[in-house]
Structure 1
Amino acid sequence: MAKIEERLSALGLVLPPQVKPPAGVVLPFQFVRLVGNRALISGHGPQNPDGSLAAPFGKLGREVSLEQGYAAARLTALSILGSLQRALDDLDRVRAWGRVFGMVNSASGFNRQPGVINGFSDLILELYGPDIGAHSRSAVGLAELPFDLPVEIEGEVEIAT
């Protein structure tokens, strides 16, 4: 078993299958696009272990608490890792986490987006360590996200070819 898979297993974490979008929704893009030694990661949201979108839904600072947002960002990390696993066959091919863009569905006045996206960053750093897991990051508030998700995250990693 690969190193990252062992760490996931030790933490009791499971990677979800490809997302099951709501009925009638078409997603005509690749979740991970491999370009040379880079993997470009499309926006992902939090998923349940069965691939469905994970609740709670809504805006941080209104329907969703900071703690729930942090947990949603952590689930989003698992969603992204699941897509990377399917694209790369081995999560240990990730040589460096480069850039992460975290979007938070924010109610008016909510300004704790970095604390929400820390749920993603903390898990990536725990799994990959401070060298490979280190990444640049933005955490921004948006008025709306698809399907009323509380969090959407995209990014880019360097991979071994």
Structure 2
Amino acid sequence: MSAESRLAELNIELPPAPKPVGLYRPIVVSGGMAYLSGHGPLKTDKTLIKGRLGLDMDVEAGFEAARVTGLGMLSTLKGELGSLDKVKRLVKLLGLVRCTDGFVDQPAVINGCSELFRDVFGDEAGVAARSALGTNGLPGGIAVEIEAIFEVEA
């Protein structure tokens, strides 16, 4: 089943692709690879999910923030490629979680994005090498920031 078909089957409607908030490109495609800049959890009402895991957010809220971030990343990919069916596979995912010093569940938070990509692209193409790191600060106080590398049709 194609990624576009899976979106429909899962009743996922992608939000508009987020606009850059600095001097960078949200995506660069080169040599059959798509490099997505860090995306944050931008909701459909254009507000950001802000907070610090272990302080004012729990793992469930962080998971949702990562999922929302993944939806924005899919929008960026689709906007650039024209179709998510041009994605061959997710290669690498890097997730940053704004959290307290003692918070240790960064992987469970970033699973919100990882599970979304697995559901859309399948068990083989949608699961990649991954890092999930904690940090004390992210732009604008957002809860997560995620970047990715995809192999795409050239």
**Normalised TM-score (structure 1):** 0.90
1:12 aligns with 11
1:119 aligns with 112
1:35 aligns with 30
* Cα distance change of structure 1 residues 132 and 116 upon mapping to structure 2, 3 Å threshold: same
Answer yes or no: is the 8 Å Cα contact 2:95–2:131 preserved in 1: yes
Deviations along 1:67-116, whole A, 9 cap, x unmatched? 00001111111010000001110101110110000000011211100000
Answer yes or no: is the 8 Å Cα contact 2:120–2:126 preserved in 1: yes
Answer yes or no: is the 8 Å Cα contact 1:15–1:49 preserved in 2: no
2:12 is paired with a residue whose SS is: coil
Q: CA deviation at 1:18?
A: 2.8
1:54 aligns with 48
Letter in 1 for 2:111: N
Q: CA deviation at 1:53?
A: 3.4
Q: CA deviation at 1:36?
A: 1.3
Q: Percent identity?
A: 38
* Cα distance change of structure 1 residues 20 and 88 upon mapping to structure 2, 3 Å threshold: closer
**Normalised TM-score (structure 2):** 0.93
2:122 is paired with a residue whose SS is: helix
Letter in 1 for 2:29: L
Matches within 5 A, 1:61-100: 61-100=54-93
Q: Distance in 2 between matches of 1:3 and 1:131?
A: 13
Answer yes or no: is the 8 Å Cα contact 2:94–2:147 preserved in 1: yes
* Cα distance change of structure 1 residues 13 and 59 upon mapping to structure 2, 3 Å threshold: same
Aligned length: 154
Q: CA deviation at 1:131?
A: 1.5
1:116 is paired with a residue whose SS is: helix
Return 5+ residue gaps in structure 2 as ranges.
none
Q: CA deviation at 1:10?
A: 2.4
Q: CA deviation at 1:7?
A: 1.7
Q: Distance in 1 between matches of 2:128 and 2:105?
A: 19
| 1:154 lines up with 2:147 in the alignment | yes
